[in-house]
Amino acid sequence: MPVKMQLARIIISELTENQVIYLQEEDGDREFPILIGIFEATNIDRRVKEEYHPPRPLTHDLIVRVADSLGAKIESVVITDLNDHTYFAQLNLRKQDGEVITIDSRPSDAIAVAVTFTPALPIYVSEKVLEEATSTPF
């Protein structure tokens, strides 16, 4: 069963190529980092810290608009797998007829989509991934 998480920290450094976000268990104390790119980190950070409205739609805004225009609602993000230090995620969309569609995504993009909503969409991590991520040193 997936575990509900929250975005705990965003670390942006101009000295390294990889930026870091930390997800923390909502009803617990497990936490783990995910390395992401500067574009995604900056976009997530802006959306979390302020009501940022870019002059033109960013990729994450476009994803939300496409889903809306097709009559689907993005419901949640799930980090589904961890393989060789690479995380895998999916966006869960619900069509008007109730069918749920899952879209493969990088975790950074999925979380960037989640924080375009107010309040942010739920972020879940599979228990298997959470156990592995919190027990594996990076």
pLDDT digits (tens, 9 = 90+) for 52-108: 778 888 888 899 999 999 999 999 999 999 999 899 999 999 999 999 999 999 999
Q: Decide: pTM greater than 0.85.
A: yes
Half-sphere exposure of 59 (CA within 13 A, CB side): 11
Residue 90 has what pLDDT? 97
CATH number, domain containing residue 18: 3.10.690.10
Length of the chain as a residue count: 138
pLDDT above 80: residue 136? no
Query: What is the number of structural domains in the chain?
Result: 1
Residues 6+ apart with CB under 8 A from 114: 76, 77, 120, 121, 122, 123
What residues make up the domain containing 110?
Answer: 2-135
From CA 109, how far away is CA 63, in angstroms rounded? 10
From CA 76, how far away is CA 81, in angstroms rounded? 16
From CA 46, how far away is CA 106, in angstroms rounded? 19
Express as a percent the part of the chain with pLDDT over 70: 96
Residue 66 has what pLDDT? 94
The pLDDT of 8-18, averaged and rounded, is 90
The pLDDT of 13-25, averaged and rounded, is 91
